Amino acid sequence: MPVYEYACANCGARTERLLAHRDAADPGPCPACAGALVRRFSRVGVKLQGWGFSATDGMVADRPGRGSFREVQQRAERISDGG
């Protein structure tokens, strides 16, 4: 279940709730003043993996000594598999 962030429309207090997606629209009253809570949108952690992302983009054979495309591709696949 995801953690949702809310702010009170009356007092501005912020709170977090661990709710199922189906319950996210109705989080209940504000714990500080019993006012209505409004959902806030915040940043989330994302890890991008695979060819073309930071772990592999420096291996492109645009400079001498980087190897053939096949070698670079195999190396990138090893990195994306965690090894």
Among 45, 43, 11, CA closest to 29: 11
> Residue 67 sits in which domain range?
47-83
Instruction: State both tokens at 49.
Output: 């993996």
pLDDT digits (tens, 9 = 90+) for 25-66: 999 999 999 999 999 987 777 777 666 665 555 555 555 565
Same domain? 73 vs 54: yes
pLDDT digits (tens, 9 = 90+) for 7-30: 999 999 999 999 998 998 999 999
Distance, CA of 18 to CA of 1 (rounded, Å):
6
Same domain? 62 vs 83: yes
Same domain? 55 vs 81: yes
Residues 6+ apart with CB under 8 A from 73: 51
Residue pair 42/5 in contact by the 8 Å Cβ criterion: yes
Higher pLDDT, 52 or 2: 2
Same domain? 61 vs 35: no
Instruction: Tell if the pTM clears 0.85, that is, is over it.
Output: no
pLDDT at 53: 61
Same domain? 53 vs 75: yes
Distance, CA of 66 to CA of 53 (rounded, Å):
17
Q: How many domains does the chain have?
A: 2
Same domain? 30 vs 52: no
Same domain? 54 vs 79: yes
